[in-house]
Chains A and B, each alone.
Chain A
Amino acid sequence: MNRFNRDDGMKQSFGIKVALGLGLLLMSAMAWGNPEPWQLNMTEGVTQSAAEVHNLHMIILWICVVIGLIVFGAMAVAIVRFRKSKGAVAATWSHNTTAEIIWTVIPVLILLAVAWPATSTIFRMADTTESEMTVKITGYQWMWRYEIVNYKGQDGQLNFVSRLDRDSDQTRQRGSGKNPADVQVDGENVYLLNVDRPLVLPTDTKIRFVITADDVIHSWWVPVLGWKQDAIPGVINESWTLIQKPGVYRGQCAELCGKDHGFMPIVVKAVPPAEFEQWLATEQLKLDEAARTAQNAASGASPAKG
């Protein structure tokens, strides 16, 4: 009968080449910012949570790749070797209790090994205590409202709505004739990933979010932060983040919420704490100014604007 030794050897080294190639491919495409063309893998993000999540993802991915290579490799060998056309004669055995036990117990052990770090990350990500500021996020059809509830002990007054930017909004209309590739900021394409008023947040500060919605279920997601949380009307969900790197980070609503679900993005602008405090002060001044103007208009003859 045919000995397939040489074929087995070639198959083995081919398998190793495929595994290496795949690994390199995955490594090379790791972006840590906003989505990149041809991006293959999850972002490593800009928080410790995102890094842990990325790590867990890579662990489970590699386990699956290895098991896949073993199983599909065995199938490939079988398909080549045990063909009737090559004169293979079928064996008659049909069960082996020891084998069943082995390939039940080993997967359980592998899963336990993954469950351990996953559990500790869950514990870590659930701990919203000892935060230094609180931001309230409210999902609407089809925009987000941000309120700085509290910053380092001070109650905030900042409360604003963040909508899809005008350029994207005009371009996305059917038959607009405008090209999505042209919606750019600083040379980066931001089509459907830009807003009129971003949420500015301080780096190196533990920020607690309280998240809800006004109408239907939405979901707040900025991939580089490492998590998403549903915004549910009548429910207040809690999350937290600690951004390690300044930058502009973009995300999207992640729960179907009606016709413009795809058109209510999120932009977080992370800046050093000093810069954040400056921004907060400036915004506060604008608020005071606006309140004064409104007061003057109200006390005048003209009807107050809503």
Chain B
Amino acid sequence: MATTHADHHDDHHDHKPSGFFQRWVLSTNHKDIGTLYLVFALIMFLVGGAMALIIRAELFQPGLQLVDPEFFNQMTTMHALVMIFGAVMPAFVGLANWMVPLMIGAPDMALPRMNNWSFWIMPFAFGLLLLTLFVPGGGPAGGWTLYPPLSLQGGNNVAMTIFAIHMMGVSSIMGAINIIATILNMRAPGMDLLKMPIFVWAWLITAFLLIAVMPVLAGAVTMLLTDKFFLTSFFNAAGGGDPVMFQHIFWFFGHPEVYIMILPAFGVVSEIIPTFARKPLFGYQAMVYATASIAFLSFIVWAHHMFTVGMPMGGELFFMYATMLIAVPTGVKVFNWVSTIWKGSMTFETPMLFALGFVVLFTIGGFSGLMLAIVPADFQYHDTYFVVAHFHYVLVTGAVFSIMAAAYFWLPKWTGHMYNETLGKVHFWLSAISVNVLFFPQHFLGLAGMPRRIPDYNVAFADFNMISTIGGFAFGFSQLLFVYIVWQTARGGQKATAGVWEGAKGLEWTVPSPAPHHTFSTPPAIDDSMLAHGNTAH
């Protein structure tokens, strides 16, 4: 009854703004802005992916065949900046924009015009960053971590990169403010905090992390700027400063940043697995508390990125213990996902394949992370391909797989069409196999002694590098299939119902597919049985 009323109301509200400029450039609609973020992220993913293929192509064999070391360093630096700030983060913001208002029964985000600006800053920020590759001196080449003094040896790219990072930071901070304001103020009556979908919880917590640490990054890069141009010596020992202080400030941002990139992934997977297991998420409250614990702990582990800088022993011990501790709530989440599928009734559509793949492969990344936490062992792992393997497992088979899972899961809601299930499965299997061929051998390379960020290497490292490159090209080209699937689904396909998936529960599944331009213009009447976590007994 409430649904029919909402349908009628929403059909009436399906008028989209007319004209490309009005609809897209001046959008204040959370769905369209969500789409903008997702399309932008997909483009950046391909750009960053191309840079990765240049890296892997050079590393195919020992010797320098394709690029000079200076350009190689620009590629490694830019690959990371583009993937982190241009692909993963905007993709998760796009998912938040689309789904958070729908999930809580809100008509839009709290601050729709600020939402527009949050997005439109991004193409300009990345235009500026990518432009550095074409100015004299080339792009930044000191690693995405921008350690001074090396990063300050750059030419024109220093100021351009810093300005671009500032722009991205402003976008993220405004977006985070919007999310918190929306979730805390615009939930439909009856949507108590501990009845919210877990994806909403994940984003609420992530938004606090963003507001806490993006300003710290801004501070760090501003100090780089003044050291370069305005005669300060924050990081210059000769002037009384300390290069290591940059590392502390950067990683105080940097560690919560990696949790910013994974908590929404946890949220996505926690929505998908119960749907396709036809069983409620196991331990909903424990999952919320575990997510909050991870977020809190993420502030006190930063120096585990710096175990070899010469920290006092007390520092090394504290950060080792705190880092080991963060494995506990993360493990709790994994056990809860496994308990969700245990005694479920599973089907394995593409979103479920990516979500289950996430649980297995992210856990492998978590294991290498736990190994890295052990300080004396880290003396051998630090700055080697072991670290590269670790973070690519958690970021690619972790964050990126969850984004793809989310795309397949919610594409029918966004477009009104089912994607081609066979092609989706092909994309999954090609990706899952090739990504392991690409990154698993890198554990061995690191353990054998291959440092990171080098364009050439001794012949002892040749075999696994060749295998990794083959995996890289296979993985890269498999993503073109994903682009095709998304594009094909946007254009047409089997009509999707409102509910889409048999096991789907939540307010977002009560609106038609595609979701009308305006939804929940009047708050929905919430029946606890409509919600995935309506039962307050736990």
Interfacial residues, chain A to chain B (CB-CB below 8 A): 31, 34-43, 49, 52-53, 56-57, 60-61, 64, 67-68, 71-72, 74-75, 78-79, 82-85, 88-96, 99-100, 103-104, 107-108, 111, 114-115, 118-119, 121-123, 125-126, 171-174, 176, 179-181, 189-193, 215-217, 219, 221, 223, 226-230, 232-235, 237-238, 251-263
Contacts and interface: CB of A to CB of B under 8 A. Distances in A.
Contacts of A90: 277-279, 343-345
Given A34-B460, A64-B371, A90-B277, A95 B347 contact: no
A99 B286 CA distance: 11
Q: What bracket does the count of chain B residues touching chain A fall in?
A: 35 or more
A40 B444 CA distance: 5
Contacts of B327: 107, 111
Given A104-B332, A230-B309, A262-B456, A94 B282 contact: yes
B308 A219 contact: yes
Nearest to B324: A111
Contacts of A52: 376
A116 B244 CA distance: 28
Nearest to A184: B459
Nearest to B383: A254
B420 interface: no
A113 B448 CA distance: 27
Contacts of A126: 313
Given A189-B458, A262-B456, A114 B313 contact: no
B281 A94 contact: yes
A53 B377 contact: yes
A126 to B, nearest CB: 5
A52 B359 CA distance: 32
A261 B454 CA distance: 7
Contact of A82 (B68, B277, B332, B535): B277
Given A36-B448, A71-B338, A180-B459, 11 more contacts: A38-B444, A38-B463, A83-B348, A93-B343, A104-B332, A122-B317, A228-B382, A233-B243, A234-B243, A235-B242, A259-B70
Contact of B285 (A95, A228, A256): A95
B476 interface: no
Contacts of A193: 458
26 contacts: A35-B449, A38-B464, A64-B370, A74-B342, A78-B342, A83-B346, A93-B343, A94-B279, A95-B286, A96-B282, A99-B283, A100-B286, A118-B375, A119-B320, A121-B376, A171-B63, A180-B62, A180-B458, A181-B62, A193-B458, A217-B243, A229-B310, A233-B243, A254-B383, A258-B150, A259-B68
B55 to A, nearest CB: 13
Interface in B143-185: 143, 147, 149-150, 153
Interface string B417-461: 000000000000000000000000000100111111111111111
B384 interface: yes
A76 B112 CA distance: 45
Interface of B: 62-70, 73, 141-143, 147, 149-150, 153, 236-238, 241-244, 277-286, 308-310, 313, 316-317, 320-321, 324-325, 327-328, 331-332, 334-335, 338-339, 341-348, 356, 359-360, 363-364, 367, 370-371, 374-377, 379-380, 382-384, 444, 447-464, 535, 538
A213 to B, nearest CB: 9
A127 B245 CA distance: 24
Contacts of B459: 37, 180-181, 189, 191
Contacts of A118: 320, 374-377
Q: Which 3 A-B pairs have the closest CB atoms?
A: A234-B237, A262-B454, A39-B448
A107 to B, nearest CB: 5
A175 B370 CA distance: 42
Contacts of B344: 78, 82, 88, 90-91
